[in-house]
Structure 1
Amino acid sequence: MNNIAKKIEITANIAIIILVVLLGAVLVKGFFLPKIGLSNTSGSNTTSGDGGLVGKPISIPDIDWSKTDRTLVLALQKDCPFCTMSATFYQRLRKELIELGGIRLVAVLPHAINEANDYLSELGVSVDEVEQVSLSSIGVKGTPTILLVDNKGIITNVWRGKLQSERENDILTRLGVNCVTQ
């Protein structure tokens, strides 16, 4: 009888350890790793992978979408490691947009404007406008997120997360930049 009790106790302990490990993995994934979604790089107006944003209007006070044909919105946060790691691409993006002309680059952050400007300055990223926005109010669930918005304020494309070079080139191509693999 004593032998059976020991086996039950060992089995229960193993089950508890497995449960704790699984629960720990769920907590780490859900709370400690940045939430990065899929992106819509197909250019279509489907909602799969874009959080339902493509084809929807976006409203950010003080931004007049009709100023230019298209506006590229960078949704960032100071504490986002992927935002910081993407700075080189944002610098390149800015350079290409200046050469292209006709497309604005706007940064939206949930931080005060002076904090946002300091952060962008640390990254070496210059933009046309900086706005303090609750990211959830514009449908952004994770950072970094890049939104391409037309002159009527309709989101036409969404890219999320730290982008691989192919996806960076996809953005540049959609903007009309002739990409050479770098």
Structure 2
Amino acid sequence: MILTWDAAPPNGSDITAYEVTWTAADGATGATTTGGQARTVAIGGLVRERPYRIGVLARTAGGVGVPAVVEAALPSRWITVHRGADTTYEDKCGPPDCAYPYIELFGFPPRTEIQITPVASAWGRFNVGAELTTNDQGYLRSRTRFPFSGVGQTLWVDVGDTQSNRFLWPEKGP
């Protein structure tokens, strides 16, 4: 899980660290500390569909603040999209704008055909999509479908009633 937050008010002293804690409904706990400039942290090892109480508090030379707390649970299935390998597709799509979306599906039924449909904020459903098959663990990765050159658009994929993250398409890859 990736957790993000806004900066805490310094209240007269620079923030030196953020402390992030989590507690599951069954009592399992965890914690991590980040630097004072951080606004995000990756929390690993959380169990899907298990509810967690997550707190973030700021530490200064003068002490600690009151934690901001949220209740959250990871979904049983999820989809991620980001920019993949550069490509050229006919004369419509070329470097540096054009690349394949890198798509990953997790937690879907094993060995099942899944309809993936790409969507862009300005173009809508710009491709009819494809039916691809998950592996024995319900995982699927697509790295060479749906060439896209919509710099500045938000890209996502629909899979039935599940949507991926929304990814802002950059002019070129990392």
Instruction: Report TM bin, short chain.
Output: under 0.3
TM-score normalized by structure 2? 0.24
TM-score normalized by structure 1? 0.23
The structure with more radius of gyration: 1
Higher strand share: 2
- Relative contact order (C-alpha < 8 Å, sep 6+): which is higher? 1
Higher helix share: 1
